[in-house]
Structure 1
Amino acid sequence: MRRVAPGSPQTVRISVRQKDAFLTWAQQALPALKVKTVPAAGAAILQVENVTAAQLQQLSASPYVNFVDVPNRRAHDERQLNQSDLSVNKITTAHSRFPQLGGQGLTISIKEDSFDPTDIDFKGRVVSSNLFKQAASPHATAIATLVGGAGNSAPSGRGVAWQARLATSSYDNLLPDDGAILTQAGVSVQNHSYGVAAIENYYGLESQAYDQQSRQYPNLLHVFSSGNVGTQTSTEGRYAGIPKVANLTGQFKTSKNTLSVGATDEAGQVAPLSSRGPAYDGRIKPELVAFGAGGTSESAALVSGIGALVQQSYQLQNGGALPSAALVKAVLLNSADDTGRPGPDFDSGFGQVDAVGAVQTVQAKRYFLGSTAAAGLRTFPVTVPAGQQELKVTLAWADPEASPTTPQALINDLDLVLVHVASGRRWQPWVLSSYPHADSLTLLPKRRADHLNNVEQVSIAVPEAGSTSFRCAD
């Protein structure tokens, strides 16, 4: 299976089963091939240059090749930025209510072109790097300001995690950065406000690599903009030809253990330009939306900053230890405000991010951590207070990386069920129809077992007070 089209000589990435065996095979079968290792991608991914159409067919048929994929593409900013309003997602309120939370001690990486390290709003908080360019990117500087500007220049220069350290990275390489280097630099959140020129809604080597890194470095949260081509129609894959759906701008955004973020207007309505889901296999993408006057770049930046505030809230309760990215993801989705059609949908995911609600969730310790073995069952008790308007429970886990050759990305299929102890009544999670038809993709969610997503959510309006439990089973 491959995602590149035969034609003139080209460069491709390949994943191989046994590197040494592949190199021996290639030396004999295709001695003219120029094979290079891909930095920080591990031994299983190689780059092959000047591949002809005939050689591409031989590569695809090789018993040592798992998948043939595109190489690095030219990334671009997800639209220029307009003036943002931090009150829309209750960020201004969070700053007022929780003045001790500014991202102190945390480092957020901005992966795209380099921002301006001399900007007064970043004074004293920039991680030194040889990636900084003489001509800084205005887009990257604006994104860094939204994520962590201190407001030294003006109130508009204040971002979400306004006391966090800021690091730069380059989107010239669309594979994940070296996780060891990120960890050494103290990076706990990386923002990705960029996309590629074409709609790419498939699970490729980049998607696989991000899911793998999320398992290797479980405290590292990756946040992607969903894209700004929400009015366009995909020409490939299961959802080809269906207008205005499945139009993510980069295969890396279909990874399971990361967050993709769409854009809304000030009223919380999803912007027409915001790229929609579902992911290629029917999973919910984007998972969240946030206000983005100039596009999903802004939205992702705000969620990255809020993610850092959630991490800091957890640290203050747990001796400085970082929460897992899966927990941060669950907190952000569970505290989000529903927007658009009732329940989750392929436009807004699980809703509009709420900075205050996310921080309060952690401060009130309304979360559980746990694991289960194969065919295992875990039960967690919840006491519902009188007068509660809604009970919402979200399960999220870091799922192992999938093979790009499989039609569905989910590996570990956990199932969430909410149970009222006294009556035995049960509620399953909300699940969307992923059938490839325009009418089906706009249907309201129904309660049933979810066998696609590694995020599941159950909600009940006006729940009965008393003892309830939720169960997680493999």
Structure 2
Amino acid sequence: MRKLFLLFVAATLMGSTSYGQVKVRLKTGEFVNTQPQLHPGNSSTSFQACLYEGNYHVWLQFNQIPTDATKQALAAAGIRLLQYVPNNTYIATIPATFSDYQRLAQWQVYSVMAPVSYAKIDPTLRDASSIQWAVLNDTIRKVTVVIDKSVATTQAVQALQQWVPEFKYTAATAADAIEAEVSMRNIELLAKHPLVHYIEPISAPATIEDIQATTAHRNTNVNTSDNFVRGRKLNGSGVVITMGDDGFVGPHVDFAGRIEVNAIGNSGSHGDHVAGIITGAGNWNPTVVGNAPGATLRVYDNYNDLNQIPNIYTFNNVRLTSHSLGQSCNAGYNTDARNHDIQLRTYPALMHVHSAGNSGGETCGGISGGWRTITGGLKASKNSMAVANVTKTDAIAGTSSKGPTPDGRIKPDIAAVGTNVNSTQPSNLYTLLSGTSMACPAVTGNLAVLYQAFRLRNNGNDPNAGLIKAIALNTADDLGNPGPDFTFGWGRINTLRAVECIEQNRYLSGTVTQGQTVTHNINVPANVATAKIMTYWVDPEAFSGAAVALVNNINTRVTNAGGSTVYHPWIMDAGLIPTAFSCAAPAVVGSEFVTDNINNVEQVQLDNPAAGNYTLSVRGESITDGPQTYFVVIEYYYNNNVRLVYPFGGESFVPGELQRIRWDASAVSATFALDYTTDGATWLPITSNLSSSTRHFDWTVPSITT
């Protein structure tokens, strides 16, 4: 890890250094100011390069995260905190007229640091072979420049063109990001401008990633008519979804009345298949029905729907987006991810769902075993969902991309069936395809069902998308290693459990500020084998150059009534230098001294808890941009509880056909036996002595009449 020590000559003590050195942790390395006493007031020459239009643009470092009162005092003094950077550092502006630097010590300021210009240049820009889409020619690179958001884009562009005359502005991608073309020899000069916060390659272009599925997701249990036992008739009705893919979808009778807007161009039928998984009606073939056949679909090319937000969110009521596309392997948290997190925090009912990628058999993440192969920055955002591909028997597909992200976060978030999925093709045809491209729309469709379920119980009001994500993660069926992992995320989606969580109101929300601890009472019922308590928060957008993307850090724990037993969350830690071994290692339970400081989700698991009251403590460990809203979701697995989820009453079977019987159960040591009846009185054996870990069985329907 590279460290830069900034040495100055003259010094007068400004703030206490008893807290130790504060490191600025960026993708380019760790940077330490060993002479924190200097500031523009006593060494204006050292900070001259940071001055722009009456303000010094600096890295303002604190001994500890400033409180809301401190932030208000800084603002009153004209000091603006623009963007948090780990650790305890903000990109900030200080008026040139500000003179009372002794007051900074009262505000726990450790130092005022002149930004290091080469620290602003993404390391990938120096390796043309890894960013071919951003290479215009031997010398010119297409870049995204993150600029000071306190300055208008037009003003910033003019300033940068004056600074680097060859700088060619091409587009604005966000309020604080622009795309441009610039030569490699001038990138370092560009980085020295005070308005430039970070320079990285432009986004990689989108590329296509190549009825048993719905039963695996427990979707058929909630999407039923009155002819079925416990029928809820939840089919995503009223929920508007956008799908970005390879263009025009159809024609197919399964989309009749379901596609509100269709793309004009067409470059394949990948999108037809994806669309059918989301909202296909099964009109032509009733056994091939989507996960949300009542939802409304809007079809776009590639990621073009993202450019239509907020209009389509505000005026067309779009609440979910689905993208079975890829970009570059192991891109990590970049400007794409940042823009995603901005959207998902600004529009609280919006959720972006992505395929995790089909690079699980590759080493593009630099590690054998397919680790760190999530394909694209969009799906590496903290608040979106990336989906892994499992088979219909819950095994991971060999091509499914794995985590972690470059900063160590858990991705993918969740898994769904994406192998040998039968879905729509043009001209009323169907075909089988496999990939995370098929798993992604399955999750999108099931989320639409959860939105509908929430609206029905909340007077038609939308849920916060962060709450729906938390419910989906916490009720997912844990696969692979116990707890979360970098293969399945939090497990395979279980829509029945998620709907029941909504119906039983097993969730709550709260807010927490810096240093505050908020407690919640949780009454655990009797006969619980496992209780899962998840805390999730929609984290603010991070600085794209930061080494760690988490902005607000919340830590949780659960204690029993007497306080004698403390339960800590799962922790996944692949280490500073991940290996195939560390990425495959199971999650461990944390402690008072070992906490998760990189993910915006924590889950505490209680095994065989005694019935009674428990206390969930939610601590604002590092709330740099608050107050922070969080959601708590609770799920119970009962002892010796077995539930048949398919078939569940009302189905008709053809003699001789193969039916996959599925059931849910808590962890048990006994074996399973399956029986059937044709008259409701006499039970006939199907099989017995099934392993305690088995949750499905393939049954050939007998040739009898009922």
Confirm or deny a common fold (TM above 0.5).
Answer: yes
- Identify the residue that residue 390 of structure 2 maps to in structure 1: 264
Change (3 A) 1:43 1:61: same
| Contact kept? 1:147, 1:305, Cα under 8 Å | yes
Give the structure 2 partner of residue 221 of structure 1: 351
Deviations 1:155-190 (A, max 9, x none): 244111111110122325596542233332111111
Inter-partner Cα distance in structure 2 for 1:459 and 1:108: 33
Greater percentage in strand: 2
Task: Give 2:425's aligned residue.
Answer: none
Question: Deviation string for 1:43-66 (max 9, x for gaps)?
Answer: 3221213x3222333323333222
Q: In structure 2, what is the equivalent of residue 330 of structure 1? A: 470
| Corresponding residue number in structure 2 for 1:291 | 417
Q: For 1:123, which of 256, 261, 264 is the aligned residue?
A: 256
Aligned residue among 117, 125, 137 for 1:4 = 125
Where in structure 2 are the equivalents of 1:7-18 lying within 5 Å? 7-17=138-148, 18=151
Q: Which residue of 2 aligns with 1:400?
A: 540
Relative to structure 1, the CA distance from residue 211 to residue 414 in structure 2 (aligned partners, 3 Å threshold; closer, same or farther) is same
The reply to whether residue 142 of structure 1 matches residue 273 of structure 2 is yes
**CA distance in structure 2 between the partners assigned to 1:408 and 1:362 by the alignment:** 33
Tell whether the 8 Å contact from 2:163 to 2:190 is kept in structure 1 after alignment. no
Q: Which amino acid in 2 is paired with 1:34?
A: K
Give the Å deviation of 1:457: 0.6
Q: Which amino acid aligns with 1:456?
A: E
Q: What amino acid maps onto 1:453 in structure 2?
A: N
Deviation track 1:193-228 (CA, whole Å, cap 9, x = no partner) reads 1102x3133211100000111110011011111000
Contact preservation (8 Å) 2:367, 2:579: no
2:178 — aligned with what?
46
Q: Distance in 2 between matches of 1:24 and 1:85?
A: 54
In 2, the alpha carbon distance for the partners of 1:8 and 1:416 equals: 50
Aligned to 2:505: 365
Query: Shift in Å at residue 9 of structure 1?
Result: 2.3
Instruction: Name the larger-Rg structure.
Output: 2
SS of structure 1 residue aligned to 2:186: helix
The equivalent of 2:673 in structure 1 is none
* 1:278-427 pair list within 5 angstroms: 278-293=404-419, 294-427=434-567
Q: 3-state DSSP class of the match of 1:94?
A: coil
| 2:156 maps to amino acid | F
Counterpart of 1:162 in structure 2 is 293
Equivalent residues in 2 for 1:183-262, closer than 5 Å: 183-196=314-327, 198-234=328-364, 240-262=366-388
- For 2:334, the aligned partner's letter is G
Q: How many residues align?
A: 461
Distance change in 2, residues 1:105/1:292 (3 Å): same
Which residue is equivalent to 2:192? Answer: 61
Q: Could you list the per-position Cα deviations for residues 427-468 of structure 1 after superposition, in whole angstroms to 9, with x for gaps in the alignment? A: 110001221222222222222221110011111222111112
SS in 1 for 2:441: helix
User: How much does 1:42 deviate?
Assistant: 2.9
Query: How far apart in 2 are the matches of 1:458 and 1:281?
Result: 22
Q: Deviations over 1:344-397 (max 9, x none)?
A: 111111111111111111111111122222222222222222111110011111
Aligned mates of 2:527, 2:168 — CA distance in 1 = 68
Q: Structure 2: state its 5+ residue gaps.
A: 1-120, 129-137, 225-229, 420-433, 621-706
SS at match of 2:361: coil
Shift of 1:136: 6.4
Tell me which of 166, 175, 184 is aligned to 1:32: 166
Amino acid of the residue matched to residue 413 of structure 2? E
Q: Does 1:453 align with 2:599?
A: yes
Please, which runs of 5 or more residues in structure 1 have no aligned partner?
Answer: none
Picking from 406, 424, 428, the partner of 2:568 is: 428
CA contact (8 A) 2:171 2:178 kept: yes
CA distance in 2, matches of 1:269, 1:418: 32
Bigger mean CA offset, 109-118 vs 288-297? 109-118
Match of 2:614 among 456, 468, 471: 468
Letter in structure 2 aligned against 1:446: V
8 Å CA contact retained: 1:115, 1:144: no
Structure 1 residues 127 and 144 mapped into 2: Cα distance closer, same or farther (>3 Å)?
same
Alpha-carbon offset, residue 290 of structure 1:
1.0
CA distance in 1 between counterparts of 2:175 and 2:345 reads 17
TM-score, normalised relative to structure 2: 0.63
Bigger shift: residues 54-63 or 174-183: 174-183
2:510 aligned counterpart, secondary structure: coil
1:437 corresponds to 2:571: no
> Are the aligned partners of 1:121 and 1:157 in contact in 2 as well (CA < 8 Å)?
no
More displaced stretch, 464-473 vs 354-363:
464-473
Q: Quick check: 1:199–1:248 contact (8 Å CA) kept in 2?
A: yes
CA contact (8 A) 1:384 1:466 kept: yes
Q: Distance in 2 between matches of 1:371 and 1:438?
A: 38
- CA distance in 2: counterparts of 1:441 and 1:162, whole angstroms: 38
Does 1:93 find its partner at 2:221?
A: yes
Instruction: Work out whether 1:273 is the aligned partner of 2:399.
Output: yes
CA distance in 2: counterparts of 1:122 and 1:234, whole angstroms: 38
SS state of the match for residue 219, structure 1? coil
Rounded to whole Å, the distance in 2 between the matches of 1:469 and 1:314 is 26
1:228-268 CA-partner distances (Å, limit 9, x unpaired): 00121135xxxx34542111110111100111110111221
3-state secondary structure, aligned to 2:354:
strand
- Paired letter, 1:213: Q
Paired with 1:174 and 1:206, the residues of 2 have a C-alpha distance of 14
C-alpha displacement of 1:276? 0.4
CA distance in 2, matches of 1:241, 1:442: 11
2:587, 2:437 → 1: CA distance?
A: 28
Q: Is the 8 A contact 1:103 1:162 kept in 2?
A: yes
What percentage of aligned pairs have identical amino acids? 30
Structure 1 letter corresponding to 2:461: A
Partner AA of 2:588 in structure 1: K
Matches of 1:63 and 1:175 in 2, distance apart? 30
Offset of 1:16 from its aligned partner? Answer: 1.0
**Alignment check: 8 A CA contact 2:222 2:233 kept:** no
RMSD between aligned residues: 2.0
- What is the CA–CA distance in structure 2 between the aligned matches of 1:32 and 1:384, rounded to whole Å? 65
Equivalence for 1:70: 201
Match of 2:216, SS state, is coil
